[in-house]
Chain A
Amino acid sequence: MKNIIEIRHLTKKFGEIVAVNDLSFSVKEGELFAFLGINGAGKSTTINILCKQLAKDAGEVLIDGISQDVDSAITKRELGVVFQNSVLDMSLTVLENLESRAALYGLFDKDCKDRIEELARLLDFSELLRRPVGKLSGGQRRRIDIARALLHHPKILILDEPTTGLDPQTRSLLWRVISDLRKSEQMTVFLTTHYMEETTDADHIVILDSGRIVAEGTPLSLKNAYTGDFVTLYGVSEEAVKALGFPYTSHPGGYRLMLPSTGSATALIIAHPELFVDYEITKGNMDDVFLAATGKSLGEERGK
């Protein structure tokens, strides 16, 4: 698969602050790419440069093989963006919003009408077309945001924390639609999120900290590289757990030990059978990867 996005040695400074520091990575066509980092890590700056909303200080950005510096009108046509907060016009109806945005891509009259109808069926908002966007619920509005981003059949869909604040049902619907689109249209999805479980299906993950890449790979390779196994022991005393000599945290009804590998977990069970009466072994999750790679927790970000 070819690279649909290539970022080479990208740098952006705001005064003395280096927001993005010599960043290089690529995104393959059709993949779900997750771009992670706490607030201020440089994610939004990178996305803004990618969308040509912000000028870069150094480096190069290629979309589908074309440098943004050569022709941003072409590269912009390849992008559909769902912003963190809805940027639609609250006083206008859904239809008026979509028609005005479709015009920006040269979609008018029948072409425009057909595409809006198609998206309304796909995202299940046909009954909302005549309602003002300001009167919609958060979930309904998000569906319209995604429809707006998809109006012109973009090759790349940029989702900037698309499901923040949404109910589980709407999140599930959005992910189903996005997943279908990826399959049917070979669409590349560039995702930033604070929900680590949304990255488990990603083909490639980049974790950013202070404007630099601190980890990248598939979810499995990152888990193998950054986390071990977790053994949760129930009905034991803290003294007994402490005596095992592994880092642990308190867990409802017991304690959670962090072990470097499955092998060391097995050895521990064999060595201390009296403690392993009620226990479970799990692999580390993406939250653990993030914590290990950055030393920071995304849980704090979600709370903000």
Chain B
Amino acid sequence: MSKDHDDYDYLFKVVLIGDSGVGKSNLLSRFTRNEFCSESKSTIGVEFATRCIEVCLEGKTVKAQIWDTAGQERYRAITSAYYRGAVGALLVYDITKSESYDNVQKWLKELRDHADSNIVITLVGNKTDLKHLRSVQAESAAEFSSIEGLSFVETSACESTNVDVAFKKNLTDVYHIISKKSCSSAEVDDKNGGAGIIEVKAISESSKKNPSKCCNV
């Protein structure tokens, strides 16, 4: 575990958003602690967890700092403050609840209004274990995702299906963008005050002289 905490190449801030009750907190607990609770407490404001994973063949380790947000509309003013500096977002809906899928548009708008413009978004259809209750078809969500330029994964936090895939997909996509950018220019490192991308061991000088406050190393 100590390796998990201290030894990583990048620190990415990721937000989990979506309607209330779609399973955001359980996706997070499944991913970070391999735990699931069918009736987990409602999230008040934001909650937080981290996990380190390897993102690509080069063996780079990314520490994901994941902020799980409350789904209720009332909390949006508070939760949207946490979008700032996030490099990835998992936008979750419940495949058994079509309203939660209909609201994906609203959530995308939220992200466009409050998050960085280059944020990597993964659309996640959760609760695939409830096959008999499905009301959102995977095909239509996949089609929507390709139009909007999002990646798309269906998961079941309950059965632990595709949860790691969803997070890894998002983090890998972020990593590719970052590594591509840091090759071409150092402009991505020009950040301060809680920016989510922290290149811990990168050669780039600017990230070292101006480490973000969430950088632990």
Do A and B interact with each other, yes or no? Answer: no
Q: Which residues of A contact B (CB under 8 A)?
A: none
